[in-house]
Chains A and B, each alone.
Chain A
Amino acid sequence: MSPKTTAKAETTQNETTQNGEVVVASKNAFLLHLVCGLGLAVAFWFAHNIYAVNLVSDPAQTLYLIWVIECPFVIIPYSLFRWNPEKCSFLKAVVRGFLGLPAGALLNTFGAIVLGAPVGSQYMKRTINWSLLMSLFTVVPAASVFGSSWKDWQRLFAYSKPTGVLDYMICIPAHGAAIGAWFGAWPMPLDWERPWQEWPICVTYGAVGGYLAGIVVSLGFTVMYGGRQQHVKGD
């Protein structure tokens, strides 16, 4: 490790202590990710067994169920890890998350349409529900944790140089979901005539897959980084 980065890490360390960040232990990070993952599983199970719909048979309804069920599983844990807990109440963080949801959905819709998602009245419901789900994966955690701090958003999504466990926990699954969705769009033009090639089914699969992969990677980083952090502390 070059001396420059160490210096940087140290400054961040200082900053975080100044701002009073909750130090996220790897155990907590693990729990948070577990909750998010479980939320997804519960949502899928719910849609499949209680409402007897799945992505192929009724994409709009299923997506709706998934994002509604997943919503508390994401917003509540991330709000617990909010930045600056003294100045910002838990409730405020939750509200921030809920505000971030439609805003992020708007961004995701725009991105999807620019990339070539079909537009039309028959796709509208699906697109809206899909982008709400994507928003949960990408925007909402950051909104809950950091609120409207432009600097943090910049660091998370433009530099993609996370500086702490919390950054990893937000940044990597979000990127995973976006990249997964991007790859998920690949089979759409193929002439296999499978029902899952419809918009946004395979994109959703890709996004969920990418998100879960992101969680795993994030956990890996957390263990590494968290270990090092404790090591630094011990010093």
Chain B
Amino acid sequence: MVGSSTGKWELIWPFFLILILHCVAILLYTRGFLLTRTELSSFSHCSDVSHSPCFPRHSSDLSNSSSSPSRNLSMTDRVEAGDRNGRCWTRPAVDRLVVIILDALRFDFVAPSTFFDENMPWMDKLQVLQKLASDEGSSARIFKAIADPPTTSLQRLKGLTTGGLPTFIDVGNSFGAPAIVEDNLINQLVQNGRRVLMMGDDTWLQLFPNHFEKSYPFPSFNVKDLHTVDNGCIEHLFPSLYRDDWDVLIAHFLGVDHAGHIFGVDSTPMIEKLEQYNAILEKVIEVLKNQSGPGGLHENTFLLVMGDHGQTLNGDHGGGAVEEVETSLFAMSLKEPPASVPSELDTSTCKLDPNGTKTCFSSIQQLDFAVTIAALLGVPFPFGSIGRVNPELYALSAGTWNQPTINATNWSNLEEWMQTYVNVLCINSWQVKRYIDVYSASSVIGFPSEDLLRVADIYAQAQDEWTNILNNSFLSGNEIQDKRFDTSLFTLRKLIDAYSEFLESVAELARSKWTEFDLKMMGLGLGIFVFSLFIHFVAIRRATKLHQVSFPSVGDSGISFRSIFALSVVAIRACSVLSNSYILAEGKVANFLLVTTVFLNLRYSVKKKKMLMEVVVFLLLISILRFTVEIGLSKNAVSTVFMKGIFGGQITLIFIAEIMPMLTLILLGYLLYKTINGNSCWRILSYLLITGTLISYVFVALHWTLESDMFAKQLVFKGIGRNFAPQVIYAIGFGLLILLVFAQAFMPKEDAMNYGGILVSKTVAMLSVWSSTIIILLGRQGPLVSLGSIIGGWCIIRLHNSELDQNHGNVGALTTNPLPVTQWNLLAVCLFFSSGHWCAFDGLRYGAAFIGFDEFILVRQAILLAIDTFGVSHILPIFGLPFLVSLQYPCFQSKQAKRILLVKLLQVFLIYGLITAMTTMFTIICVTIQRRHLMVWGLFAPKYVFDVIGLILTDVLICLASLYYFCQIEDDTTQDRVMKKCSSSEKGL
């Protein structure tokens, strides 16, 4: 018994070796490629600013600080604080701040439609903001805020509060948001005694677990829920506006984001949400204005209404597309008199709308947000911020003007403001310079030295100018005459430009060079990967050898045309990932290549004059797949309009869309029943299986009926069914899976005579167990996609069989033909894309994770999401691979046949793994080459993550499948034993 069990292991150990090698390679490579930016744990303090060259000090101060830089900080702090009349880094310009964040607020939600070519239904809905911005008498302005990708909420909140650039790896953490360890705006506020009140999205609480004075968090992950978070916000927002127990209020609304995810931008729920927000904002502004009089609660309050990122028309976000990174920011100061932006620094674009009102908007980088707000509130700038204090946003607050009446045309006013701003910029530049110095010193690789030198040079120049001006003003006794205004303004302007240049070049440097690639690690990982491919080839050779051991008469059939063809198809597909265009069109490429291979089959069919029907069916199936792939891919861009054009409101079509999946489901159930019933093996088990799976299908149908609008109204017990049905399906699926595993482990010795039949029933059992879960997760397209995969698989098997027929009676002679395996793989890729997935994080169908569950538990939801994403492209094809082998020789009934089958199965699994590994290796090579590409984080890195996860999943599934399908060959490694066994079995017969 022991000997025979090693027989099984002898066959399948290469899978495990390859799995381990791939894991090691990918781990090493990922360590090198997706390095997080080193997060420094340094914090800014009020006292630090004394080291900056930005304050004219008395000589005693100068000697004091220069002589002992390592002095007790708290001492200096007190001295400095006393020195500068309680101000910390900058003079606080606003007392209170209200930040209303509307998640996924596109720029065209806020900006007037006159700025856009076309007036779309979702524009001009937040009219209260537009009116205020165009109103002459108020200091309000609309900004186009430009975010840095990745544009997921967590990343953006991190970016907004730390003023730094995000790192790619954090996207993966987006589900389980970890607390921010870096210095950030919220931390600075708390450190400096500001009370922060938070309400809305609970991501904030995960990022800042202990920072808020008071918080009203609401769960954010259930995208189907449009109202819980918003209603919670509204409930707490208005009472809070009348209280004075906070300094900074953050209200984070999620409705627009969720409406986009579920319905898309051009939808009624979205417009209703926007109209609701308009009403809320109107009320908020009214409350604030009522109390903005002298002595009022909101005398010097600053209001910000902003988005954290945009969204595509389809409601997706995460990438770096223009629609996703452009969001809006509306800022308004309630302090009287209204401030205006000095025209010299004003970069706004203005347009007149048909009514003659003029509206303007300016641009701001989200990077600049943290530092600008810190400057306005007078707290130290976050240590790791690389943003610049935005002049337009800064000038908007009347507090920065320090004058009873503000008039930007008044020279003295303007110059004083410029002076203040230059001072702020000086501190800003000093802080950024300090950060890059510390960062370069503490981080292993840091920035390239020539870039550092260049930036340092710019800083030194700006600083020189600053000292000159300081000296001049000292010389002239701090009294500036009227006649020198012009020159002084000119020099100030020059200084602002110099500082701005420095800050911009730092931001640019950081953007381009931040990701530190550990090339050694990457090289090592790639090397191991190449080695694993080599092992793969060796394993395939070994399988062929095993084959030859049993049939020594058969020589090596050599390399056939078909092998070369299959190899070149795989190679073309692998090479195609080297270009970003082909990655975007990956589904089409797979489809193109699949059709090309089928044309080869077509030629063969024409030659042999048979199986023509199968070829034509297959081609038709692929052409349907092709259209679904295109719809799936264009979902990326703009397809909602297109889809509406097709299915626009026609009830019959909607009815068909409702009924079709049900009918297909019934067909699938019937097919399953026929297949399992027709098989003789595993009687009781098959009975259980078929009952379980059919019950699951009934529940799937029930679930959809309850979900759909058409039937839902007649049914009373809606609440039970919504989560109950999917949960039952998961439970049945899981139970059957366990049952199968036990059956496999404790089955009485299998009838070796009919191993092919056993293999078929095992495969059918495995697939049917998975099918119901995958179908319900895929939604209504599920049954159609499953049916498509069944037909496709059937065609591939039939076509392959027809080619084997010519050598009938000598089947063992052929080494496994890689062409059908290649087709199998390409079909799987096509199915991945045609079921509405693509290789980007916005291609994940988050809704699928909440089928059957309302609350968010990381592991559970991640598993569901993984099954949805990889179900039809990895799980089903791999567990279905034995069909390729077992249906070939259904008529063989001998020990030899079992051996042939096992070796063939081994080869098929190895070849399938090799194809996936080759593609993944080229993806890895591609990201290595393109690691400085503009799209690396938007396109290549997600592709890399998807491929790598897909590869590991493929390996794991192959290992599991091999454990499940393989059984021991009865130690008949030598020819005479085979002969003996054969003769004995013949005797037995």
Contacts and interface: CB of A to CB of B under 8 A. Distances in A.
Contacts of B592: 115-116, 185
Contacts of B607: 154, 158-159
Contact of B595 (A114, A154, A189, A190): A114
Contact of A182 (B579, B596, B623, B626): B596
Contacts of B623: 113-114
Given A189-B582, A189-B588, A191-B581, A114 B606 contact: no
Count class of interface residues, chain A: 10 to 19
B975 to A, nearest CB: 33
Contacts of A158: 603-604, 606-607
Interface string A85-126: 000000000000000000000000011011110010000000
A180 B909 CA distance: 34
A115 B619 CA distance: 9
B563 to A, nearest CB: 19
Interface string A175-195: 000000010010001110000
A111 B592 CA distance: 11
Nearest to A191: B581
B589 interface: yes
Dominant SS at the B interface? helix
Contacts of B488: none
B584 interface: yes
B589 A191 contact: no
B187 interface: no
A221 interface: no
A116 B603 contact: no
A196 interface: no
A157 interface: yes
A189 B584 contact: yes
Interface in B590-643: 591-592, 595-596, 599, 603-604, 606-607, 609, 619, 622-623, 626-627
Nearest to B602: A158
Contact of A116 (B581, B591, B604): B591
Nearest to B606: A158
Contacts of B705: none
Contacts of A113: 623, 626
Contacts of B596: 115, 182
B712 to A, nearest CB: 36
Contacts of B606: 154, 157-158
B660 interface: no
Given A116-B592, A157-B603, A189 B581 contact: yes
B292 interface: no
A6 B627 CA distance: 49
Contact of A191 (B580, B588, B609, B622): B580
Contacts of A119: 627
Contacts of B584: 189, 191
Contacts of B619: 110, 114
Nearest to A159: B607
Interface in B567-597: 579-582, 584-585, 588-589, 591-592, 595-596
A113 to B, nearest CB: 6
B622 A114 contact: yes
Interface string B758-796: 000000000000000000000000000000000000000
Interface in A102-154: 110-111, 113-116, 119, 154
29 contacts: A113-B623, A113-B626, A114-B595, A114-B622, A114-B626, A115-B591, A116-B588, A116-B591, A116-B592, A116-B626, A119-B627, A154-B606, A154-B607, A157-B606, A158-B603, A158-B604, A158-B606, A158-B607, A159-B607, A185-B592, A189-B581, A189-B582, A189-B585, A189-B588, A190-B579, A190-B581, A191-B580, A191-B581, A191-B584
Interface of B: 579-582, 584-585, 588-589, 591-592, 595-596, 599, 603-604, 606-607, 609, 619, 622-623, 626-627
**Pairs of residues from A and B, 6 with the lowest C-beta to C-beta distance, nearest first:** A189-B585, A158-B607, A158-B606, A190-B581, A191-B581, A114-B623
Given A182-B596, A189-B584, 18 more contacts: A111-B599, A113-B623, A113-B626, A114-B595, A115-B592, A115-B595, A115-B596, A116-B588, A116-B592, A119-B627, A154-B606, A154-B609, A158-B603, A158-B607, A189-B588, A189-B589, A190-B581, A191-B584
